[in-house]
Amino acid sequence: MLKSFRLYLERQAASIWHYLLEQTMFLVIGWIPTIVGIGIRGIFYRLILKMDGVAAIENNVRLRFASNIHLGQAAYLDQGVYLHACPNGIEIGDRSIVMHGAVLHVYNFRGLPNAGIKIGQDSLVGEYSIIRGQGGVTIGNRVYTSPFTQIIAVNHIFDDPNRSFVEQGITAQGIVIEDDVWLGASAVITDGVRVGKGAVVAAGAVVTKDVPPHTVVGGVPAKILREIDGKSTPRSDRVIYYS
């Protein structure tokens, strides 16, 4: 019983004191809605996490190992976001946005040397996207993930048919998404992959190999659909909106 209790606590915060402080903060100010709550958390959450300037954190954001979270200036965490930053932590760059229901979990309970999640500036993690950072996930600037995108930097070993995969360990090589990449809805990026600058991953793709810069890939497993070389004739039937 005591062992289970201890294991539970070890997976919630960096120490018992961090746990008490973080949970007290969530209890007292984590629930406060509206811009008032965002303002209060913008001041007081810097006692439990690292914050450059002021980050906007909605009510009912779930944070674990908050002391390993670093938010950039004007970073935004929507309601229902879950960040679990057990070593080596989660970094979200200036003006980057994490939308409702997204889960970023470093998931390092085995002393993995490169575990962690780092997101650059002006990026967006779409609704219900999942990022697992066991092997390390590095996301550049102006990267957008669409709803239900999954970036999963881990694989189970299952070579031995006589043992459960659960006993056979994991590999965790890491994933890199370079600047200006757009990942379509429900795309899955598997471990060990690098998605090159300016690439587009089509909706529903499962990416198992590196994606060259400025290409569109799609399908299962993902293959190159076309290159983005500026040579294709712009389609006249499109109405384009700008911010």
Ligand X SMILES: CC(C)(COP(=O)(O)OP(=O)(O)OC[C@H]1O[C@@H](n2cnc3c(N)ncnc32)[C@H](O)[C@@H]1OP(=O)(O)O)[C@@H](O)C(=O)NCCC(=O)NCCS
Would you tell me which residues interact with ligand X (CB under 6 A)? 126, 146, 184-185, 200, 202-204, 216, 218-219, 225-226
CA distances 153 to 156, 165, 184, Å, are 11, 17, 18
Residue type, 96: S
- Least Å distance, CB 227 to ligand X, is 10
Q: Which is nearer to ligand X, 52 or 227 (CB)?
A: 227
Which candidate, 108, 117, 112, 111, places its Cα nearest to that of 136? 117
The catalytic residue among 18, 100, 105, 156 is: 156
- Quote the tokens at residue 37: 């709550």
- Least Å distance, CB 204 to ligand X, is 5
103 CA to centre of own chain: 6
- Quote the tokens at residue 22: 């973080």
Bridge partners (DSSP) of residue 137 are: 117, 175
* Three-state SS at 134: coil
- Least Å distance, CB 21 to ligand X, is 37
Does residue 84 carry a catalytic annotation? no
Q: Which is nearer to ligand X, 56 or 185 (CB)?
A: 185
- Least Å distance, CB 72 to ligand X, is 22
Q: Which is nearer to ligand X, 97 or 200 (CB)?
A: 200
- Quote the tokens at residue 115: 């575990």
Residue pair 181/167 in contact (Cβ under 8 Å)? The answer is no
Q: Which is nearer to ligand X, 66 or 97 (CB)?
A: 97
Q: How far apart are CA 96 and CA 86, in angstroms?
A: 21
Residue type, 199: A
Q: Which is nearer to ligand X, 87 or 204 (CB)?
A: 204
Q: How far apart are CA 94 and CA 38, in angstroms?
A: 17
- Least Å distance, CB 11 to ligand X, is 32
As annotated, the active-site residues are 156
